[in-house]
Structures are given as structure tokens and as C-alpha cells.
Amino acid sequence: MEGTGHSIRLHPEGVRVVNADAVEARVLAHALGDPVRIAALLDGAAFPAALWSGADMRFTWTNPAFLDLLGDVRPRWDLLGMPVRGFLSDSHSASRFIDVAYTGHPLTVPEYEYRSSWGEVTHWQLSYLPVPGRLTDPFNVLFIGIEVSAEVRARVERERLSRELQQANEIIDLTVLSSLDADEILQRVLVEATEALGADWGWLADREDEAWVFRAVHGWPMEMRGLRFAEDDLSLPAYAARAARAVAVSQSDATHREEFELMLKHDVGGFALVPVKCRGEVTAVMGFCWDADIAFRDEHRDLLHKMEVSLSLALENARQYAAERALTRSLRGAYFTAPASVPGFEMGHLYHAVSGSGGVGGDFYDVVPLPDGSLGVLIGDVSGHGHEAAGLTSLVKNAMRAEALHLPSPRSVMSRANDLVVHGAEPHEFVSAFFGLIDPVDGRMSYSVAGHPPPVLHRAGEAPVLLPQDGVVLGASPIGGYENHQTLLAAGDLLVLYTDGLLEARSPSGEPFGSTRLLETVHEHARESTERLPEALFMSAFSFAGGRLADDIAIVTLRRSAGAEPPGQGRLDLSAAVA
């Protein structure tokens, strides 16, 4: 019968249960049409069997295995003649007999949980077979039970393992996307993966001077850190580097001599290895070892493969991030400038170039202390990448800074910048920008927007909102039509400026991060320090995008802390800070 793969077959010496395809139930039923033959064939069977007959489905025969299962101490003949509804307290089970008797269709229950009178729980494949009876009566019903407890336990264990490894994979993914520090990521994943895989110990080895060196261990004596193997030695890291893919090997499934030699050398019953690659080269290996033999499942191998991909991506992102930090420092005077501090304000800023260490993007920002004591805040994005975009970026950013020093309003600064782009840039080049002037004494801010994503304003105790915007991008028209807008920054209010790369970060399914999610993220992280807030916003978008961003991101945050002293009574620290 179908269900767990067990089948019932007729043999000259009796009925056997075999692992084969399902047999035709009607053939078996006709073969057992004689109750006498049923008793002869099934009385000594190791599996329980019973027969119900007649219009009211009365118990007419059973074998000892059925009575043993029930734990009924009464003689067999005391039970004969009982109707099925009286014999079975479970009305649903009794109805199965009635359905088979009156429809003539066999029925199989693949997994039935049975609890004995002494509390033992077992699982059975139940087969209800219609057997021809008297012409005026419904079919007799032959009941056969095959124990499948072992199969059920194995399935439940597989499902448990699959759930746990899936949860572990989700935790590891969060870890990989929670930081851009490669050492921190690898250390945390080593601990999480060792526990999730149930390994006895785990380790992390780096390639150094034509050797493999154990840098970190978990579940192993700390003295093992620093253990060194030459690249041509027989060692687990060298084996993983040559394989260049995640592998899992145990005593029971090893097929190569080197695998047996490795287990013998390291005194383990199984091992799993995850190569960590940077630009296609294996630069580190994360390994897990078991003292005894282990049966690796597809779920184990799937987790190891996903770790290989995510860890290699994390290492590449960390390398790129470090290079971008160096690039930002070298370009601070050209693209990203801000004073170390501004009286009356807390400040934070960040730039991430998706183009890598050798590329130059079009994002820029500037925080400009002005002679009258006000504060100019600028952020923008030039279309395109590369050297052409870099040249226009530097030109527009420095021109707007210069104009802000003597022009009275953001609208005037934006109009002059538009003239510059219209007459000095290529026809396909455009610039989006935001420029605001803030009075640090009373918090009044006037601003103008040229096709740039609107800043977020988060007032203390309120939900964050987007500021109004109306102007077109710089360079789109000789008549820009830019306007001055007004708002007020009270003590504790937060202003978030950003470029469109933040909104356009996309999830693996293609969903954009978007302004709604940005507002929610600002609200969620508003209590963080203003200095750290840009990194928190960036990491939210970075994690949302699965670590794969398509555009540069620049973020500037300003929080008004208190009214500043009037001009001439305070001193501004003009030392440059680096994103």
C-alpha cells in the first residue's frame, strides 16, 4: 500500500511486508476473499491485522499481533461480534471502516499516531482493504497496520535539523550584513556556525607567508592559535584551498586516501571546510571538526555552500570599504568636507562608493561655516561615474561653496550653480543638489532643492517627515525657477541629508529601500548619537540589499543641540573631519 514505501505482497508461505512500489489493493483483497484463508495467511504475521464483516461491521477475526498492540488481555473470542463503533472509541477511525465497506475503495493512512494504554507512542501505516462478502452485504474490511515509527522519527529529525540549520543561516546572514569589519564578522560566524552544525570544535586559518596559520578557535584549546602548516603540508586548510569549494567529509563517506589521512592526522571522525575568497583567491579557511563519525546531510552541505558565498562577499565588502575610507580621506578637500564641530549642533557624515577603491563617484557634500555666523549645508549628486563626473563634481561643489560666502539666499546659490552646469557641462550631465542656510541662534533654516531627494526632518517626539521640494536638476533648463523654503530646527530636532543611492538600494527580490522605509529607519535609530547615525542608516540599506549596492551613498546628519552664541562671541573649530 502507498504511504511510506511499504507494500504488502503474497507469498506461498504467507503475507510479507516489503519495501517496494504499492501493489494493487483490489488484487490482494480478492486473493484474501475467503476468511479462512485470511486467518491461515495472517494469523502468524508480525504485523497487526483484523477483519470486520457484515452490514453493521462486526469484528470477526484478528491475529495475536493486533491484540498485542491493543494490550487487550481478553481472549480473542470475547471480542468477536463487537461492532466497529463499539470496538473503536475514535469515531473518525470507525468511519473509515464504514466508508471502505460501502464504497469498495481501499484507504491508506500513511502515519497514524497510536498511544498505548501504558503511554507508549508509536506510528503506523494503516491499510483498509475491501474484501468481497455476501451479495447482499457491503464489503468486508481487512485492516492491516505496518509500524513506521522509525521512518517518522527519521523524518522528524530531518525536519528539525533543516529548521535549525535554516535559522543558523539566517543568523549568519545577519551577522555578515551587520558589520564591515572582516575580523569581527569571521570571529562571530565561527562561533555561530560551530554551534549550529553541532561540531566539537571550529577554527579559522589565514594564509600568511606561504603557510596556513590558525588565527581563531572555538571549542578547542586557545593555545592552538598560532598553529602553522606549510602550504605543501598535509593539512585541512591546504586541502580546502586546493578544493576551492565547501566540502564535508566523514569516515563513513570518505572516498580519497588524502581524506582518510587528514582524519587520522587530526584525530577526527569528520570535518567540514569553507574557503573564504577574495577576488577569486582563497585567503582564509573556516573549518569544523567532529571527534566521531557523522552523517552529513544535504542541509549541512547547503549551509556550508551559503557560508562560502556570504563570507567571501563580506570579505570583499570589508576590503572595499577600507579602500573607500582611504579614498575618502584623500578626496576630502575635493568632494566631502565638514568641520570637526559646529557650535549648537551635533553632526555626522558618511560616504560609501559602490564603484570600488579605484572608482570615483558623483556624490558630494559640504558643511560651510559662513562669516555671518550662519551654517551652509550642501549635498548633491552628479549623474554618472568616472573622471568626467569627478571633474563636474569638484567644480559644482566648490563653486556653490564660494557663492554661499557672499550670496544672500539658497535660491541665489542654486541659480548660479544652474548657470554653471548649463554652460559648462556636457548636454547629458546633470546635478541634483540641496543647499540650506541655518541660523544657529534661533534654528531658522531656509533652503532650496534642485531635483534632489528631500531631506528628512525628525522633530523631537514626532514622526519624521520629508521636507517639501520643487526645483528641477541643475543643468536641465537655463531658467531653473528655484525657490526658497523655510522651516525651523528646534533644540533636539534632527535633519538627515542623503543621496539617491540610499533610496535605490534594492533587496534580492528587486524591492527598493524607498523613502517610507527610510523614514521608519530614521525613527528607529533616532536615539543613536548623531555621529553614528549615518552608519546605522547605511547598514540598514546595506543589509536590506543583501550586501549588494548599485549606487554610491552619501549621508549627512545634523541635530540642533542648543542655541549658539551670537557672531563674534564664540569660536568655530574649522579643522577638517573626514567621512
More confident residue, 559 or 41: 559
Q: Which CATH number belongs to the domain containing residue 125 in this structure?
A: 3.30.450.20
Backbone angles phi, psi at 307, to 5 degrees: -65, -40
More confident residue, 263 or 298: 263
pLDDT given at position 517: 95
User: What domain range includes position 338?
Assistant: 331-560
- 298 and 410 co-located in one domain: no
Residue 193 binned pLDDT confidence (cut-offs 50, 70, 90): confident
Cβ 438 vs Cβ 444: under 8 Å: yes
Q: How many residues does the chain have?
A: 579
The grid coordinates of residue 237 equal 586548510
The grid coordinates of residue 222 equal 586557545
H or E stretch at 284? strand 281-290
Residue 153 lies in a domain: no
More confident residue, 334 or 181: 181
**Nearest partner of 359 among 560, 94, 135, 549, judged by Cα:** 549
Domain final residue, candidates 300, 325, 350: 325
pLDDT given at position 270: 95
Say how far apart CA 320 and CA 130 lie, in whole Å: 71
Query: How does DSSP classify residue 557?
Result: E
Say how far apart CA 156 and CA 174 lie, in whole Å: 27
pTM over 0.85: no
Mean pLDDT, rounded, of the chain: 81
The grid coordinates of residue 4 equal 511510506
Query: How does DSSP classify residue 508?
Result: T
pLDDT given at position 10: 40
pLDDT given at position 37: 78
Instruction: Return the amino acid letter for 116.
Output: S
Residue 575 lies in a domain: no
Cβ 362 vs Cβ 336: under 8 Å: no
Say how far apart CA 387 and CA 341 lie, in whole Å: 31
pLDDT given at position 280: 78
pLDDT given at position 573: 36
Whether the predicted pLDDT of 407 surpasses 60: yes
Looking at the structure of the chain, the number of domains it has is 3
Give the pLDDT mean for 424-437. Answer: 89
Cβ 482 vs Cβ 435: under 8 Å: no
Residue 573 lies in a domain: no
- 347 and 284 co-located in one domain: no
Instruction: Return the amino acid letter for 223.
Output: E
Residue with cell 579614498: 327
The grid coordinates of residue 535 equal 552608519
Contacts of 544 (CB under 8 A, 6+ apart): 505, 507, 513, 517
| pLDDT cut 70: percent of the chain above it | 81
Give the pLDDT confidence of 276-301 residue by residue, as tens digits: 887 778 989 999 999 999 989 888 88
3-state SS class at 429: coil
Backbone angles phi, psi at 509, to 5 degrees: -85, -5
- 288 and 309 co-located in one domain: yes
Residue 84 lies in a domain: yes
- 275 and 402 co-located in one domain: no
**Nearest partner of 439 among 410, 470, 465, 416, judged by Cα:** 410
Query: How does DSSP classify residue 451?
Result: B
| H runs (alpha helix) in 32-104 | 35-42, 64-70, 76-79, 84-87, 91-103
Cβ 460 vs Cβ 490: under 8 Å: yes
- 535 and 443 co-located in one domain: yes
- 299 and 374 co-located in one domain: no
Burial-class residue 516 by CB neighbours within 10 Å (0-12, 13-18, 19+).
Answer: exposed
Give the pLDDT confidence of 95-125 residue by residue, as tens digits: 888 889 888 899 999 988 888 777 889 999 9
pLDDT given at position 330: 56
Helix and strand numbers (H, E) in the chain are 16, 24
Residue 152 lies in a domain: no
Residue 461 lies in a domain: yes
The grid coordinates of residue 309 equal 558565498
- 274 and 203 co-located in one domain: yes
pLDDT given at position 336: 72
- 92 and 163 co-located in one domain: no
**Nearest partner of 235 among 256, 277, 205, 209, judged by Cα:** 205
- 395 and 508 co-located in one domain: yes
Q: What is the CA radius of gyration of the chain?
A: 37
The grid coordinates of residue 308 equal 562560502
Torsion of Cα atoms, 542 then 547 then 549 then 555, to 10° = 30
Give the pLDDT confidence of 351-369 residue by residue, as tens digits: 887 754 445 568 889 998 9
Residue with cell 517496494: 20
- 77 and 220 co-located in one domain: no
Say how far apart CA 119 and CA 109 lie, in whole Å: 22
Say how far apart CA 198 and CA 145 lie, in whole Å: 37
54 dihedral zone (left: phi>0; alpha: psi -120 to 50; beta): left
